[in-house]
Structure 1
């Protein structure tokens, strides 16, 4: 796939330049060989690497009836931590999307959080999912 990989990398470069973002990518078959890679050593927040798989899991739960896409979720910025009883908090400065922060204390539907997580790369929406 050399031609397709070059085209894909050029498009990723164009998007990253246009949006001023750090955009990493890897593509290849399940045997682990690489078709293309872009900025493989760039550092990204864990939430950024989990957004798509999380959305797939949420939408799968909606499709199988285990979750209603219109279920309300309370927007909050403090979460339970895996480290003891200490809470974990997010701050708006490290997020790409202001809108979830403007809704702190309100309830929003699951589908809205998925859209914000993927469409605006919202870390808060991702954590809420």
Structure 2
């Protein structure tokens, strides 16, 4: 597959549109207390970002959580735990699906994502 150079501003806009679309889908179909599978396309983009721009991967994950919570039914917000659990399934075709690598992903997400929500621990 060929790489395509994209200016940073347009790259950010593409990620914003992508995460908004995926967040709407995730929020609408989430069942309270279940695993929140973000979809294989999100998993593939997340894995690529994890390897190339780790901070952007974490930010994208936090944005997805926010969008899913905003678009879900009242009282059934996607939780951080549910989305972290679901991400594992979305990464099945990537290098980071391996247990040791995913442990690092989970540790980083649990440490950094609450900061995007003002340090809240109830997300």
TM-score (norm 1): 0.27
If each structure's strand is expressed as a fraction of its own residues, which one has the higher value? Answer: 1
Question: TM (normalized to structure 2)?
Answer: 0.28
Between 1 and 2, higher relative CO (CA 8 Å, sep ≥ 6) is seen in 2
Name the structure with the higher helix share.
2
